[in-house]
Each structure stands twice: as C-alpha cells, then as structure tokens.
Amino acid sequence: MRVRKLIVLSAAFISFCCMPVLSYADQVHRVLPGETLSGIARQHGITTDSLLGNNQYISYPDMIYAGQVLIIPTENKQAYQVKPGDTLYRIAQDFEISMATLADVNQIVDRDRIYSGQILSIPKVYTVKTGDTLYRIARSLGMNMSDLAVENGLKNPDKLFVGQALIIPVQSSREETLADIEREMSPTVARFPDTLFYKGYPDGRRAVALTFDDGPDKKATSEVLDLLKMYRVPATFFLVGSNVARNGDMIKRIIAEGHTVASHTWSHPDLRTLTDAQLINEMTQLENEIQRITGLRTALMRPPYGFVSDSNLQKLREMGYKVIKWSVDTNDWRDQDVDKVLINTMPDIRDGAIILMHDYLQKSVTKEALPEMIQSLRWQGYTFVTVDELLGVNAYQ
C-alpha cells in the first residue's frame, strides 16, 4: 500500500512540475444583446484578430447574435493596452523584445502610429544562443518543432543565427488541436484517399456533420434524437453491436427521422490487434443485425478509438466501407462540463468538419452543449448534414 501511495504521489508531482507554463484555461463568452466583436475583444484584453483566429467559424464578424458562443483564447494574458504617451519602442523595451518583432506580430506598418487604448499582443520570445538547433529549442520549450518553424516562417530550420528572436507560439490548453489531427491523418489519407476520411471538402458550402458514437442507448440516444428533431439537424450514428440487438426501435427511429446509421463494429475492439478473419467477423456480425432490423447494410464505419492500421484499411476497402474518423473531438465523454466541451469544439470548426460526440453516457453534458453549438454555427451560416452527404458517398451498400 505504502509503495503504491508513493508512486501515485510522485506521478502527481511529475505531472504538476512538467505542466506547460502557458496553462491558463480558455474561456467561454456568451454574446449579450448589443455586444460587438471588437467590444468583446476589448473586454477580454485581446485583439479582434486573435478573437477571430480562435473562432474561425465566424463568417460574418459584423453579425454576431445574442447567445452565440465565442471561445476567448488563452493568449489574452499576454496582451497590453496602450496608454497615453506610450511608444512602440518603450513597450518593446518593457517586455524585453525587439520593436521589429512587436510591430510584426501586431501588423503595425507605421511604428510611430499606435493609439491609446489599442490592444497589442505581446509575444513570448526565445533568443537563439550559440550551439542551438531548432530541434533542441523546441524540446526545451516542450513543443513541436514544426509549430515553432511555422510560427516564425522558417523555411530552412538549419539556418538559425545567434541572437535571432524566435516567437514562441502560444500553446492552446486543448490537448489535441486541429493541427495535430491533420498532421497525424494526412499521410494515411494520402495512402487511402478513397477510403479514409476525417473531414469533408464541401467546396465553400458551409456544412458540418455531427456524429454520435457507441450507442444506441435507450435514454441517451432518445435525448439526442429529441434535440436533433427540435433543431431539424440530421446526424450520423455509429452503432456498437452489443447495443443494437436490444434497441431495434431506437435504430428504426434514427432512420425514420432522417439520420444515417453506420457501423462502429460489433464489440468495440482495437482493430489493429485483429486478424483479417476477426475484422470481417466484427463487421459482418453487426451488418447482419442491422440488416435484420432495418433491411440496410451500412457503407460507413468508424474504427473504435480511431485506431486503424493500413492492413485494416485495405480489408475495409475490399469490403466496400468508407472509414470515417473526425476533425473535431468534443471529448464530451470525458469533460463533464458544458464550457469545456464548447472550448474543445468551437475553435476547431471549419467548413467540412466532422464532429465526434457520444450517445451512450447516462450522465452527460452532450445534450446541454448541443443547442449552443447548433445555434452558434447556424447563425454563422452553417448547415448540418450527414457524413455521407458531406462526403458525397453512399450511406448504405
């Protein structure tokens, strides 16, 4: 017992001591009647650009609506409001950064023209020392080398010079950002372009797809269906086999109300650990059950946990499946807090987003977060479609 306690304690200590320095939480701002984007930005001490950057789903900056959700980014702790008599030179000196960097970051063309009340972003800067490499700097800052290169527009990461000021990108408090997902997914998508999808390419049409995993469940799924009906939003449900047999009515309702039914395997295993025969069994067992209830055989599948190997993808392609991952992870199963779910979700929304949610939890904030997500997106011109419609593929075989 004692040994175990010690291990737990040291683990807690390690995770505490190594937290990134920039660990303030993002926060949710719910627009009040009469508020404007610039007013909200000012109120939180950030620039309008930085507010828009974190809320790229805003299509019409001049038309924000009361009740709409905005996510105030972490970086607001690094802003400075210009006071009467300030000069760019003095501010740069105070924060120990170069005037060029400060002007660059804030897109200031005329360095003599800053005005009282203006919000300036104050970047964190690392000054390159003798013997530094980008790799070593990134490691010491606990961040990704490519993030650092991109932030500083470095075309050749080997060409650093001593005294060079590198801007340290602000790390989001969200664990997995859109950039991480894209970096991870792109190579596999390139190998299986006709089979593996994690987002749609809707050609300028503002469309997103809500997806619900691990149901159906009598209580959770019917609550979600009630909401979707109320807002007239179609969605895609990735069903798990063990829940299917005893929830035939729910599956019929899902289809009757205009949603798409898809496969999430029979027993929710890590597909990478299965033989081809086991994989086929996982798929066909569920298909047979869905067909018995609905007369349909699904053509979309989502691998449990998102884990899928190249050999899985080959087999699934042979079987006629489109493999669907996601570009936005709400983490609604983990974060029992509406604001956290919104913070996980809204900043990653883009045209064609596939949004991952769940409909098996007995106590969940999914149904509280959904109305705010739907309304906020709709007010900015988004429509909701099923995954098959988003991708322009067939839902059934």
Which residues are catalytic, by number? Answer: 213, 358
Question: Which residues 163-192 are close enough to bind Zn ion by CB under 5 A?
Answer: none
User: Residue 178 in contact with residue 355, Cβ under 8 Å?
Assistant: no
Measure CA 167 to chain center: 24
Which residue in 26, 75, 147, 213 binds Zn ion (CB under 5 A)? 213
Based on CB atoms, which residue is closest to Zn ion, 285 or 383?
285
Part of the chain binding Zn ion (CB under 5 A), chosen from 66-74, 113-121, 212-220, 365-373: 212-220
Phi, psi of 233, rounded to the nearest 5 degrees: -115, 120
Residue 368 CB, shortest distance to Zn ion, in Å, is 21
User: Residue 372 in contact with residue 65, Cβ under 8 Å?
Assistant: no
Residue 306 CB, shortest distance to Zn ion, in Å, is 9
Spatial separation of the C-alpha atoms in residues 222 and 212, rounded to whole Å: 12
Which residue in 75, 214, 329, 348 binds Zn ion (CB under 5 A)? 214
Question: Which residues 66-105 are close enough to bind Zn ion by CB under 5 A?
Answer: none
Based on CB atoms, which residue is closest to Zn ion, 266 or 382?
266
Based on CB atoms, which residue is closest to Zn ion, 114 or 354?
354
The residue type of 190 is: A
Q: Count the site residues for Zn ion by CB under 5 A.
A: 3
Residue 253 CB, shortest distance to Zn ion, in Å, is 21
**Residues 6+ away with beta carbon under 8 Å from 210:** 228, 233, 235, 236, 355, 357, 370, 384
Residue 85 CB, shortest distance to Zn ion, in Å, is 59
Residue 281 CB, shortest distance to Zn ion, in Å, is 18
Q: Is 372 a residue that touches Zn ion (CB under 5 A)? A: no
Q: Binding mask 279-308 vs Zn ion (x if CB under 5 A, - otherwise)?
A: -------------------------x----
Residues of this chain that bind Zn ion (CB under 5 A): 213-214, 304
